[in-house]
Amino acid sequence: MDYLILAFVGFVAALTPGPDIFYVIRQGLCNGIKNSLIAVAGILSGNIVYLSLVYLGLGTIGKNPYFQLIVGILGAIYLFRIAVIIFNEKVSIKKECDITKNIYKEALFLNLSNPKAMIFFAVVVTPFLSKNIMLSFVALFTGIALAFLTGAVISSKINLEEKLLNLINKIASVVFVFFAIKLLIIAFEAFKEIF
């Protein structure tokens, strides 16, 4: 069940309006499925880099109760803040159809420089990883990949309306509040372990 929750977190987080999903959608709306899938490949490559960093460092550190306390509190604050921001945000899509030759590279660097992605992998994801870290990564990556692939396919087939993206904002904000509460519970358990 934890793996399904982790996949769902990845799916919702990836669909939450941000630079990565808008880049994929823009490629789909303007240039079709092929370019949108190239953008997805670049973004997912960046996610593999982040997952590797978590595996090499934060996965081990993440089991420390002091780290869980700090990450739980900071992650909850971040998620509550993002939930409020995206709940109140009005999304507008501008269909700018410039043609780029290096879509993969642009998408990769966009993801690697995206603060939302950095914080998501470093702060939010780590406490939710289970004892089997590889299965956790596969579940998370699957959820993220499905979200971006869904965005690529849908955006290349139809014009997404701003109402749909605003609805996604509302749903994502509720999900983020749920996970912020879960992070606070993790922080509280770590606090009890320490003291």
Give the Cα-Cα-Cα angle 1, 122, 59 (nearest 5 degrees).
Answer: 65
CA distances from 64 to 3, 18, 140, 179, 186 (A): 21, 31, 22, 20, 12
> Where in the chain are the domains?
2-93+101-194
Residues 6 or more apart whose CB falls under 8 angstroms from that of 176 comprise: 12, 16, 79, 80, 82, 83, 86
Q: Given this model, what pLDDT does residue 59 score?
A: 55
Query: Distance between CA atoms of 130 and 24, rounded to whole angstroms?
Result: 30
Q: pLDDT tens digits, the chain, 195 residues: what are they?
A: 678 888 998 898 898 877 788 889 878 877 889 999 999 999 999 999 988 888 787 656 666 788 778 877 877 887 787 778 778 877 665 555 556 678 999 889 888 877 677 777 776 676 666 678 788 889 999 999 999 999 999 888 876 567 776 776 677 678 778 777 877 888 898 899 988
Q: Given this model, what pLDDT does residue 40 score?
A: 97
Q: Given this model, what pLDDT does residue 33 score?
A: 93
